[in-house]
Amino acid sequence: MDDYRIVLWAFMIGVSLAALYVFFVRKTLGGFVQKLLFNNAFTPETALSMEELGQKPTFLLRRSLAHNGDFSQTVLCENGKYYIPEDRVQKAESKYKNNTGGVVILLLAIVLFAIATLICVYLFPQLVESFTGLFKGES
């Protein structure tokens, strides 16, 4: 397999993984943030537990909250209850919007990108060879 084909397939896989990550952030983390915002959980006194929010405590959500990353610095926990400090509300609203199109759109985007990669890998080389063959003059 030619090097450019490997690069194209690696790029396609990388973009697909990035799309899955963005989907996770918008859907899972964004959904959790929206629930906190909707319930005005802005202080330790108004903080709510996952159960009170109707949120399933999934592994990835718990990991995002426990990990010392950006999400755990936006959503704070006190005594098992979560809140977003008022000085971080605007950041939370803009970064964790829950405006994904859903799983169907995600899968459609990955399939379309795979088709574009297939075209680049298999069709374009043949087109280039045909095109260069037109300009080769017979001596």
pLDDT tens-place string over residues 32-56: 999 999 999 999 999 999 999 999 8
Residue-wise pLDDT for 4-25, tens only, equals 778 888 888 998 898 888 888 7
Residue 125: closest CA among 1, 11, 12, 13: 1
Reading the block at residue 36, the tokens are 């906190």
Domain ranges for the chain: 3-134
pLDDT band at 139 (very low <50, low <70, confident <90, very high): very low
pLDDT band at 103 (very low <50, low <70, confident <90, very high): confident
Chain centroid, CA 102 distance in Å: 11
Residue 76 has phi, psi (to 5 degrees) of -100, 155
Residues 6+ apart with CB under 8 A from 11: 117
CA 95/CA 33 separation, integer angstroms: 10
